[in-house]
Amino acid sequence: MVEAIRFTGDAVELIDQRLLPARETWVRCEDAAQTAAAIRDMVVRGAPAIGITAAYGLALAARRGDDLDAARRTLLAARPTAVNLRWAVERLAGLSPAQMVAEAQAMHAQDIAINRALGGHGADLLPAARHVYHHCNTGALASGGWGTALGIVRSIAERGQSIHVWVGETRPYLQGARLTAWELLKEDIPCTLVVEGVAASLMASGQVDAVLVGCDRVAANGDVANKIGTLGLAVLAKHYGVPFYVAMPTSTLDRDCPTGADIPIEERSAAEVVGYRDVRWAAEVPVFNPAFDVTPAALVTAWVTEFGPWRPPFPAVNPPFVASGGPTG
């Protein structure tokens, strides 16, 4: 399985996702400022991975004796939409430096266990699925390991079932083309890369059995903030009668956020849209580049969690999670 985050004791090291698939290069972060910069600049991305990385960054600040309030503010400002970042930072509150390190490491290990459990529940929902459409990147690169929506695909393949993935390119940052396709290629899971404009034709011709997406934040009513383009896929899936599943580790459920209208949506640089490095292909016009959109709960077939499929109204309190892959009791 792909490894994206590793902790060395005096640094958190991150595979530089900006350079994939051409080069596998690691970035070393030794304090909160460097960690926040890596999150902001997309060295690491994906809600669970951002949370784990931020936890390590805060633990490093504590070990160094840095100002923890300043470190928290720096980390929390890195990316505003993914709720895991705030969740991870708050989880370390009030701990000693040694406890922070241990908690961050536990969070990392638990995320893998959660994703394995989620993947199994998702595989149970899709026993007959042969062709799934996947948006953005939700694999090991976007998490502590295994992945969320892509973890469901991994779990299906692990069971020996036939599965093929339509990989949405995911403009403008190309997370599907660069990252998801790379992960699936490494694990020999059949896939085909498509531009987002092909999704409607695929669904219309019956070539999609389910759409699988991740999430960066889910409001209390089930509205889903995820990579830009998710809403369009949900509308298409509803029209063509294709199940639309959101892989939702419960750490991404924001019970303090009533609806999707209350979720802050990050806007990113125009440079991501108009060209690449020193090549510009767009005309000199204004650019609107939101990183996420919000899909109404009514368009979601089910939210797949580590506890199994959920539908609103969600349980008031999450059941306890055990590393074996499910709730206690």
Q: Are 63 and 8 in contact (CB under 8 A)?
A: no
Q: Cβ of 298: how many Cβ atoms within 10 Å?
A: 11
Which residue in the list 216, 223, 254, 293 is annotated as catalytic?
A: 216
176, 227, 270 from 172: Cα distances, Å: 10, 10, 10
Active site residue 31: no
Rounded CA-CA distance 152/143 in Å is 13
Cα 64 to its chain centre, rounded Å, is 29
The residues, any chain, with a CB within 8 Å of residue 81's CB and separated by 6 or more, are 216, 217, 225, 263, 264, 265, 266, 291, 292
Residue with tokens 């595989």: 123
The CA–CA distances, whole Å, from 18 to 23, 41, 43, 91, 157 equal 9, 9, 6, 28, 27
Residue 172 CA, distance from chain mean position: 16
Integer angstrom CA distances of residue 130 from 168, 169, 231, 305, 322: 16, 20, 23, 22, 31
Distance of CA 94 to the CA centre of its chain: 27
Q: Which of 78, 83, 51, 48 is nearest to 220 (CA)?
A: 83
Percentages of the chain per state (helix, strand, coil), in multiples of 5: 40, 20, 40
Handedness of CA 264, 173, 251, 60 (dihedral sign): negative
* 272: nearest Cα among 287, 255, 259: 287
Task: Count the Cβ atoms, other than its own, within 10 Å of residue 271.
Answer: 13
User: Annotated catalytic sites, by residue?
Assistant: 216
